Structure formats: C-alpha cells, structure tokens
Amino acid sequence: MAPGTYFNWDTVQIPSSETNTFHMLEEEVATPNLQHLFSYYDQNVFLPTASFENYIDPTGASLHPSDIDTSLYDPSISFAHSNIFPTSQQDTLLPSPKRQKCCCESKVQKLTAQTALPSSLYTDEFVVPYDNFYSSHIEELPQQISVEFSQFDSTCEDLKCVKKESEKTISPQSLAARERRRKISEKTQQLGKLVPGGPKMNTAEMLHAAAKYVKYLQAQVKLLELTKSLEEDNAETPSEMLHSLVVSSFVQEKLYTEEMCFVPKETVAFLKAWQSICGGEGMATLVIPANYRFLLSPLMLKGPCHASNIQIQIQGKVIAAEKNAWASYKYTWILITNVNGLTVDGSGGSLDGFGSSWWSCRNCPRPSVITFNSCNGLSVSSLNIINSPKAHININNCVGATFSAISIQSPGDTHNTDGIAVYGSKNIWIKDSTIACGDDCIAISGGSSYVNVTGSACGPGHGISLGNGNSNTVEQVHVQNCNFTNTQNGARIKTYADGSGYAREIRFEEITLIQTRNPIIIDQFYTNKGVSLKNGGVEVRGITFRGFHGTSMTGEAITLNCSPQGCFNITLDQINIASSQQGKPASCSCKNAHGTATSSVPSCPCLLP
C-alpha cells in the first residue's frame, strides 16, 4: 500500500490476489491483548507508510489491522481528519483493492502472527486531546505484542464468528516470488530515470521509449564513428556540411523517430566520391543506394570533368537539412554545375526539400531543390521531387537538356514553389511529366529559346508561364498535349510593364482544361500595374492558341491585356471553353490585342486586325 491510505474498519479493504503482493486475509475478533491498544482509535485509521510486508515476524506470518475488533473503539477520539492525512497521499498507481466481508461469503485461511508495531503508527502532526490521552482506560503501549490469529469458518451470527484453530506460514516460494517482484520494481524505477520522461510513463510506455532511445543512441554513435572515419581517410568534406549534419535537430529527430533511418558513410563522403568520378576517364556512375535515407546539407557537384559520360542513380531517399541547419548560403540545395554529358536517373528514389521548415516565411530567401547550371547534353529521367522550399528544378544556362517522366509534388498553397524553371537555356525538352506545386508548373524566362513541353500534366499550380523579370527574350516555345487541372492559369504570357525584350513565336496546342481559372491569358502588367511604360515595354508577337477545350472557373476564359504598344499576330483557333459558373457563359476580353479568332468559343470580337 502507498503512504497515507485510509481504512475503515467496518468495511476493511484488503488487497486481492490480483495485486500479487499479499495473502488473502479476513477480519477476526481481536484478542484481548490488543483491546487496550486500539481503544482510542476511531473507525477511520491511518496505516503507516509501507505495505503490510512491514508486519512480518520471523516465522513469515503477517499481521493485518483488519483483524481488530471494531466494537472496542472509543468513538470520542478521532484520528481521521483530512488536514492530518490528506487523500492526495494515496498511491494512484495501484488499483483499489477488492473488499472482503467479515466471514460470510468465502472460506479463509488460518495464520499465526507475532510482530512489533512500528513507530510509524504515530505522527508528529497529531495531538491527542489531553483528557482522553491520560484517561484510565489507556495503558502504556508495550514494545512488543504477541498475537495469535486463528482461522474461522463462514458461519456468522450478529457479526460474531466461530473460530477454528489452525496455523499457517508463508512458503519459501512465496518469499522468493516477493523478492523477485521487489527487484523488478527497483530495476524498472532505475530504468525510468534514464529514459527522458520515463517517470511520467507507465511500464509499457517506458519500455517502448527505452527501446527507441537505445536506437537513437546507437545512431549517434554511428555519426561519431562516421566523423572519425572521415578524419582518418582525410576526406575532403566541407566542415560546414559535416557540422550541419551532426547538429541538425531535424537529423536528430529522424534518428530518434524513424527506426529505418541510418546515415552511412557515403552520405557525407559524397564529394569525395564525386571527385573520384569526375576526375576519372570514360564512363562513371555514382549510385545513391535504395532502402536508405540520406540527410544532406547543401552540396555542389562541380565540373568540368574528365569523364565523358557521368551517370547519377538516385535509388534512395535524399532529405534536405532543416532551415536552422543551413548556413548563410540559401540559393539551392543541390547544385550541379559545368558538367557536360550528365545523366540523372531517379528511378525508385526521391529528393525531399523539407520545405515545411521554410514555407511559413514568405519573404525569406529560400533554396531550390536542385539546380543544373551550364550543363550541356543533360538527360534527367524518372526524378521524384517533393516539398521544395522554392523552385523544384532550375535549368540555368543549359544547352540540349531533356527532362522526362519527372514527378513534382508540393502543396498548392506554398508560395513561389515553381515546378521547373528555365532560365537562359536553349533546346530544352520537358515531356511526360506530372507537376503539382504552389506556383508555375513550368516557367520559361528571359534568354530561353526552343523549349518544347509535351504530354505533361499541371495542377495544382499557376499553369505554364512565359516571361518574367525585367529582361525578357523568349522565343520558339511549343507547348502541346498538356492538361491543366484546378490551376490558376492555363497558358500564360506575363511581362513587367517596365520590362524590355520580346516574347515571340510561341504556340500552345491541344490543351485540356479542367476547372482552370484563366485558361488563356496575356498580361503585360504583371505585378506592377500602373507603372508607366519605358521604351514601349516587352514586344509580344506571333502567339498561337489552338485546340483548347474544357472548363473555366471564371466567366472570363480569354484575357488579352496588352501594352499600349500592342500585341500582334495573335491567333485563336478551335477554342471551346465553357464556364463552370451556372448561367454565366464564357467571355473574352481584349486590350490592344491584334489578331484573329477562328472557331472560337467564346468569340473574341474585341480583337483588332
């Protein structure tokens, strides 16, 4: 029993066999030897801070206070008071024991006990009334009392029982079992002190947490072994990257919560492997193995390389470090630069940008997941990218690059998370890809030409957009056989009012629209509406929209908002777009737009010749 437990002699609660701690006892008529001892006790009596194991005599028998005759108490004296023995001292970890009646329901055991009453029966907080304490009815307490208890049968008459003499002792097996339970309890308490939060857990929760904690410690040991191994190998790994890996709270959380998480030596030795491959001759392959999670800080794979053909196979899951683990450099997570003839195969693997640690800060510098810079003859296939802080793929200043079967997934409400962004590149193919993001699915910006997008799906997102920035020179772009689902835009050309350059020879053909807000849009006042034009703005000429069909979320399905300089050679052909707004037909609006509309629904009478 726990400290401060109350007992009522009229209804004594005795631990059942379910507690596996005490033997079953029942009330008996007290012997005359104890009558003088308890005559001043009230019906509620406080038991000492210990279990009944404190009352074991050398023979192994037990004495239980319930064996006292309640008829001999003096009701004028009370020990039971909430201020003296608060109920908060009760042990909340043990269930309430079952109640045993005097002798009327079950057969009981016979035992003999001899014990010394412990001093803990007294409390410094209690003061016995002077008259009662020195009454002639109270004798001096003996130092040791010998009491013999006998078993009785289940015959009751006026709450008096008939005794049948017998004796019983605790077996050595019971004592051994009790000792084992005591040792188990001690070890469990010691373990609880070692596990974080252990004292607040029950035994099952604590053991589960202990197992996870051991795995966490083992993973930390592996990190330390990894650090030492790199030092021994003299690996040329940036100390900043290694430090970010070891101290990252995200890394530590992953090590603690994911049982499969493991950081092999190859993760932070990536650069050393790259140096070996890039410096070799002929063909070389870098494999990121399956069934592992690689936790990486920003890294750069830099060329030029001696190898004529380098292949990177991403079979495992590569995860970016959290925001707090990054240094001041926040442009891109993985940068591959000046590497020609590179092939990236992402079959079975993925790149996780861990964007959730960045998205809440919309105006903070945020990194893209992967950037290919000045990589000619590039081929990327079956690459799966999720949760980018900003753009998922940047194609910058590349010539002759093919991206096929690319999968991009980020929430639709994430700010500036472009799917694929093309800058200053030429002869780019993007095909058979699926893109869901919070900004442009594909953005083709200044300096890009001969870009082909085919057989791809967009949504959610802002559609496929051409032009952005103050210097726009985009031409020879062909988008064909693509579909847009729940997107803000479909085919869009956007330029700044104070920009310069041109957007010309652009074709969107065979486009399927499902609940698209702006299926066809030219906006030459993007983000800075009302700004006065400089040098006439960006020239828009030779734009074709052909074979569009589907639904628009708004009534205005076609918007051609051109600068005062005008947009020229606009072609609308075989357009069939219906408004999803009941009772509101789709419409077309024009401003300074010159061109023709053939077989177009909605019609565009506002087009200028």
Q: Is the distance from CB of 364 to CB of 379 less than 8 angstroms?
A: no
Q: Is the distance from CB of 411 to CB of 389 less than 8 angstroms?
A: no
Q: How far apart are CA 202 and CA 52, in angstroms?
A: 24
Q: How far apart are CA 6 and CA 45, in angstroms?
A: 6
Q: How far apart are CA 276 and CA 2, in angstroms?
A: 68
Beta bridge partners of 95: none
Residue among 474, 512, 476 at smallest CA distance from 491: 512
Structure tokens at 189: 């308490």
Find out whether the peptide bond into 304 is cis, omega within 30 degrees of 0: yes
Catalytic choice (439, 440, 549, 594): 439
Pairing relationship of beta strands 151-157 and 160-164 according to DSSP bridges: antiparallel
| CA dihedral over 525, 527, 533, 535, signed as positive or negative | negative
For residue 278, count other CB atoms closer than 10 A to its CB: 19
Eight-state DSSP code of residue 57: -
Q: Give how far Cα 490 sits from Cα of 140, 421, 495, 511, 557, Å.
A: 100, 16, 16, 9, 10
Q: Is 81 a catalytic residue?
A: no
Q: Is 439 a catalytic residue?
A: yes
Residue among 422, 420, 478, 465 at smallest CA distance from 447: 422
Q: Using CB atoms within 10 A of its CB, is residue 202 exposed (0-12), middle (13-18) or buried (19+)?
A: exposed
Q: Is the distance from CB of 549 to CB of 589 less than 8 angstroms?
A: no
Structure tokens at 361: 């800060």
Beta bridge partners of 570: 543, 595
Catalytic choice (64, 67, 462, 523): 462
Q: Which residues are catalytic?
A: 439, 462
